Structure 1
Amino acid sequence: MSASSYDPVTFDIIQNGLEAVADEMFAAQRKTSMSAIIYEVLDLGTGICDANGEIAASGAGIPAFVGVLDKAVKRIIEKHPPQTIRPGDLFASNDPYWGGVTHLNDMILAMPVFADGRIVAWTANIAHWNDVGGNVPGSMSSEATEIFQEGVRIPAVKLIDAGVPNQAVFDILYVNTRLPDFLRGDLWAGIAGVRIGERRILEMIEKYGADTFTAAIEDFMELGERRARAALANLRKGVYPFEEEQDDGAIHRITIEITDSDFIIDLRDNPPQKGSSNSSREGIEISAQLAFKAFTDTQAPGNGGFFRPLKLLTQPGTVFHVVEPGALGYYAEVEIRVFDLILRCLAHHFPGVIPAGNFASICGTVIGGKHPDTGRHYTIVEPQLGGWGAQQGRDGNSAIFSGFHGDTFNCPAEVAEARYGLDVDELALNPESGGEGQWRGGKGISVRYRVRADDNFLSVGYTRSRVPPWGQAGGADGSPNYVEVLRLGKAAERYAFATNVPLSKGDVVHVVTGVGGGYGDPRKRTSEAVRQDIRNGYLSAESAERIYGVRG
């Protein structure tokens, strides 16, 4: 039966209902998880895929995580033919070489939904687990050269078989972590999330029928494709190259080609894979999808149909297409570099459409050791807030996560102090200069964690630590991201990437994230806007007079 034979109002109810189901999955997982990285920071994502694994609806959370789910489900289907899958099955994968896409800390759970004896959908989620083994606490080492050094690998296996847990897999997970209680709680929270999604979809199918349900998903995909192609038709056609130097001196190159039918991103001419700062091809595809949607139609449904015009070209063995057994611990910094590179290329060739550069780093901060009060091991895994770039007519946002990281939050100081073995002495806006313009860049943050016990450690992975966020139309560049370790009576130690830096009682870990790039000539900023910056603490009176010629 064709889609035109169905009631479009029913389709709309089902399509919006899928979004509501994905949001309920998210809420269930958030409320039952053990780790603050999930229930406070919201380092997770939920979604619903169609029977073939195409993303049909997404919940809240990290956009780059939602983009993982369809790729993971497709790999599960590839490994487990549909005739071997039964109602009540539940699959797990964290291995980037088996559909895990990201790194071993991120566990994907996926569950088939059966109706009329066939799979009609999949519910899926992904969340960051604080420790999955490997050679360092937190499982993220900038010194890793192979994935074997990064933790336990779960290669798209059946975790629950027709409702019966595969206890062997659970046991393997529990003994391959320094935080077994937290892993156990986070795992079962994820299982609860996909199961509540299955229940709600079956309720929907009972009301409308399996055929109507699947037809509504197909119609939703077609709507996504129509919106993408309509946006593509309005873009200037051509070939648009760009290259950018990175913090380590490497050059990242991109060519975007826009045709009548395709939006092609070519990343083949790039450095070879190295260390743990690599990404799977699927991860780079997510970066391309996020940038494509941001540039074309932000209001369209972000389903599999919308991304049909997008084509990605990569070269195996490069930093953007790692091959086994390459390490991927800091994959996120590679993906966000590509996301930012695509936007910067488009900003260069389509002036005024894209804002100036933002701090553009996850700024992953891992601190851990023996808790001074309980004696138990703790690990804090914190992404950081930063400054966004300005655009014509608007200052940049201050102290929020990057667009790549999405609708997530920082861990409150009170929660961090209660759960972890440290004090939070400061959480303030970064007072450094940078990002001046007719419209100024948003401010980053300054955070000071004071260590409360000996034998602690610090591991970090920050980019944009040397090459700052870029200004536009005469606006100034922003400021870099970095971490300092402050020890009494000693010079500050500055880091961007580091693993297992020793920390002792009283040491301070000082996190500084970047100010976003400015837009337009700073001399054109209004006097009232400058004075408002002074009142808000964004700017000193001395800097106001020196940069803008305005006396406070």
Structure 2
Amino acid sequence: MSTTSYDPVTFDIIQNGLEAVADEMFAAQRKTSMSAIIYEVLDLGTGICDAQGEIAASGAGIPAFVGVLDKAVKRMIEKHPVETIKPGDLFASNDPYWGGVTHLNDMILAMPVFAEGRIVAWTANIAHWNDVGGNVPGSMSSEATEIYQEGIRIPAVKLIDAGVPNQAVFDILYVNTRLPDFLRGDLWAGIAGVRIGEKRILEMIEKYGSDTFTAAIADFMDLGERRARAALATIKKGIYPFEEEQDDGTIHKIVIEITDDAFIIDLRDNPDQKGSSNSSREGIEISAQLAFKAFTDTQAPGNGGFFRPLQLLTRPGSVFHVVEPGALGYYSEVEIRVFDLILRCLAHHFPGVLPAGNFASICGTVIGGKHPDTGRHYTIVEPQLGGWGAQQGRDGNSAIFSGFHGDTFNCPAEVAEARYGLNVDELALNADKGGDGAWRGGKGISVRYRVRADDNFLSVGYTRSRIPPWGQNGGNDGSPNYVEVLRPGKDVERYSFATNVPLSKGDVVHVVTGVGGGFGKPSERTEAAVRRDLRNGYIDAETAAKVYNVTI
């Protein structure tokens, strides 16, 4: 083993190496998973934590998922004293009350990395499993009132003990799902991911030494903190309140206080927890971390050190700090509402710094039933693309996942048709009006899934279904997100939250996601840009004439 070195070049190599390891973990898990929600949509996240559980490096995938990993590992360490943890151990948790943070569909796997008889790091990942039991297929019910209704709970348990699988836990998982083959494949893909991470870290330690390795992680954390505090120093200090009406008429309130030493987000004055649209306190912390980083320094390392100046205040028993046994099936819509609320508050008090509002919903769409060709149960879990808000000098992006959802993809029509019992009749830009401005909001999408068999079902959870994405600096608001069920010869049914809506052969599920908000007054948009929009089909002649005063 080489001698200990603390030079900055070595530190930089190790720090970049950690990010490369996290990316390799991501690739291994993606390539070996069974479910399209993982290998196509990339509904997963990977990362490396230090010995204490602080996030040190992250791979590709969903930023909100990477933010789970440190919180889960810390809870595992809390439950399992360090002296009881051995090389080859592997832990699992999906329980929001035991470090799972999100909902029961999202399984976290974490593995300690030992060197010279001590833990020097943890490798960890998280991925969405299509079904973990509960009272509805897909395990996500807008009608749930308790977590007991949502599926199997794995409370930070030791899944593998010194390299030996705890078969009882594996068996419990396999019999508590409607899709056991997929669960088994996705589970072992996750195990492969954390094990390849352990292998690569040990190779790094063999080359540089464990002391240098741990010192490099500590230095990386300090760099993150320095970057955050440097950005904080440039921001105007003050207290910034804001409130926003939600689709159901409730009011979400926030107060942001920026001081010389801290960025404080106060969410205590908010509604009580209710139904399945709640989030754990740790989940809201992730929303705060993502917004804090987006507002301060997007290029800095997103490690535990960067978030040291951030403080979050919540009230137990509220929608933003659920207490047991509250349900969390649609936690993601609560977290993305907070993420958007923080950004909207900052955009209001710091005009021009942030873009206008985006469609800001995961738009989770679950369709399932008996496959018409195989007779086996299938479940498709599909987040949706949407329109982003415009900003000074730039139109919003069209058909992109929300920033909260991150570096993910839609499931290709060919894969959806091959794996699931439906046809994809359309994937197009949303023709709904909205988002006009000097720079216009990006377009959402229109997707039509045609069901191929009877006795299928639809479950959805969409926000911004009534309150559209907000315009900025005189720009117009965008358009809402919604789902329609089109049945031959019957009236159109429109949904935002629904569970187990029956579907029959020939029915069409029509997904429509929002247009982003506009930036600047529409009268300030150039005629050339308006005519380009007309040629590209972003607006029609009526909008060009009435909104932009441009006639054909």
**Which AA in structure 2 matches 1:67?**
G
What displacement does 1:163 show? Answer: 0.1
What is residue 114 of structure 1 aligned with on the other side?
Answer: 114
CA-CA distance at 1:5 after TM superposition: 7.0
Q: Does structure 1 residue 212 correspond to structure 2 residue 215?
A: no
5 Å-filtered alignment, 1:460-539, equals 460-539=460-539
AA in 1 matched with 2:542 = E
Which residue matches 1:300?
300
The equivalent residue for 1:432 is 432
Q: Find the counterpart in structure 1 of residue 285 from structure 2.
A: 285
CA distance in 2, matches of 1:533, 1:194: 47
Q: How many pairs does the alignment contain?
A: 549
Give matches, 1:360-439, under 5 Å.
Answer: 360-439=360-439
Secondary structure, aligned partner of 1:201: helix
Equivalence for 1:193: 193
Q: 1:370 deviation in Å?
A: 0.3
AA aligned to 1:487 is R
Rounded to whole Å, the distance in 1 between the matches of 2:157 and 2:5 is 40
Amino acid corresponding to residue 312 of structure 2 in structure 1:
L
Equivalent AA in structure 2 for residue 102 of structure 1: T
Report the equivalent of 1:352: 352
1:542 deviates by 2.5
1:546 Cα offset (Å): 1.9
1:457 alignment counterpart: 457
* 1:424 to partner: Cα distance: 0.3
Cα offset for 1:534?
1.3
Root mean square deviation, CA, Å:
0.7
Give secondary structure in 1 for the equivalent of 2:132: coil
CA distance in 2, matches of 1:371, 1:241: 51
Which stretch shows the higher mean deviation, 519-528 or 325-334? 519-528
**Separation in 2 of the partners of 1:18 and 1:166?**
29
SS at match of 1:544: helix
State the alpha-carbon separation in 2 of the partners of residues 147 and 31 from structure 1. 32
Query: Which residue of the partner structure matches residue 89 of structure 2?
Result: 89
User: Does the 8 Å CA contact 2:242/2:255 hold for their aligned counterparts?
Assistant: yes
Distance 1:236 1:433 in 2: 36
Query: How many angstroms apart in 1 are the aligned matches of 2:458 and 2:188?
Result: 29
What letter is aligned with 1:253? Answer: K
- Aligned mates of 2:144, 2:205 — CA distance in 1: 47
Runs of 5+ consecutive residues of structure 1 not aligned to the other structure = none
TM-score by length of 2: 0.99
Q: Secondary structure at the match of 1:11?
A: helix
Structure 2: which 5+ residue stretches go unaligned?
none
CA distance in structure 2 between the partners assigned to 1:377 and 1:406 by the alignment: 29
5 Å matches for 1:99-110?
99-110=99-110
- The alignment status of 1:71 with 2:57, answered yes or no, reads no
Task: Give the aligned partner of residue 98 of structure 1.
Answer: 98
Secondary structure of the 1:113 match is strand
Measure how far apart 1:537 and its partner are.
Answer: 1.4
Please state how far the C-alpha of 1:551 moved relative to its aligned partner.
2.3
SS of the equivalent of 2:426 reads: strand
Partners in 2 of 1:441 and 1:316 — Cα distance? 37
* 1:397-418 deviations in Å (ceiling 9; x for gaps): 0000000000000000010000
SS of 2:231's equivalent?
Answer: helix
Q: 2:5 touches 2:212 (CA, 8 Å); kept in 1?
A: no
Match of 2:169 in 1: 169
**2:50 is equivalent to residue 53 of structure 1:** no
In 2: Cα distance, 1:475 partner to 1:461 partner: 28
Q: Distance in 1 between matches of 2:549 and 2:234?
A: 42
Letter aligned with residue 516 of structure 2:
G
Contact map agreement 2:482 2:511 (CA 8 A) in 1? yes
Give the AA of the match of 2:187.
L
CA distance in 1, matches of 2:210, 2:10: 13
Deviations 1:176-228, CA, capped at 9 Å, x for gaps: 00000000000000000000000000000000000000000000000000000
Report the AA paired with residue 72 of structure 2.
A
Give the distance between the partners of 1:144 and 1:546, measured in 2 at CA.
46
Q: Equivalent residue for 2:237?
A: 237
Give a deviation string over 1:8-64, Cα, whole Å, max 9, x none: 100000000000000000000000000000000000000000000000000000000
- C-alpha distance in 2, partners of 1:197/1:405? 24
1:454, distance to aligned residue in structure 2 (A): 0.3
Distance across 2 between alignment mates of 1:521 and 1:15: 45
Shift of 1:6: 1.2
Which residue of 2 is the match for residue 318 of structure 1? 318
Match of 1:262 in 2: 262
CA contact (8 A) 2:264 2:311 kept: yes
- The residue that corresponds to 2:540 in the other structure is 540
1:101-150 CA distance string (max 9 Å, x none): 00000000000000010000000000000000000000000000000000
Deviation for aligned residue 1:547: 1.4
CA distance in 2, matches of 1:34, 1:290: 29
Q: Which secondary structure state, in structure 2, belongs to the residue aligned with residue 448 of structure 1?
A: strand
Report how far residue 252 of structure 1 moved.
0.2
Matching of residue 339 in structure 1 with residue 329 in structure 2: no
Measured in 1, the distance between the counterparts of 2:17 and 2:165 equals 30
Return the alpha-carbon distance in structure 2 between the equivalents of residues 408 and 400 of structure 1.
9
Residue 540 (structure 1) shift: 1.4
Q: Which amino acid is 2:288 matched to?
A: A
**Does 2:223 match 1:223?**
yes
Q: What secondary structure is seen at the aligned counterpart in 2 of 1:548?
A: coil
1:22 aligns with 2:18: no
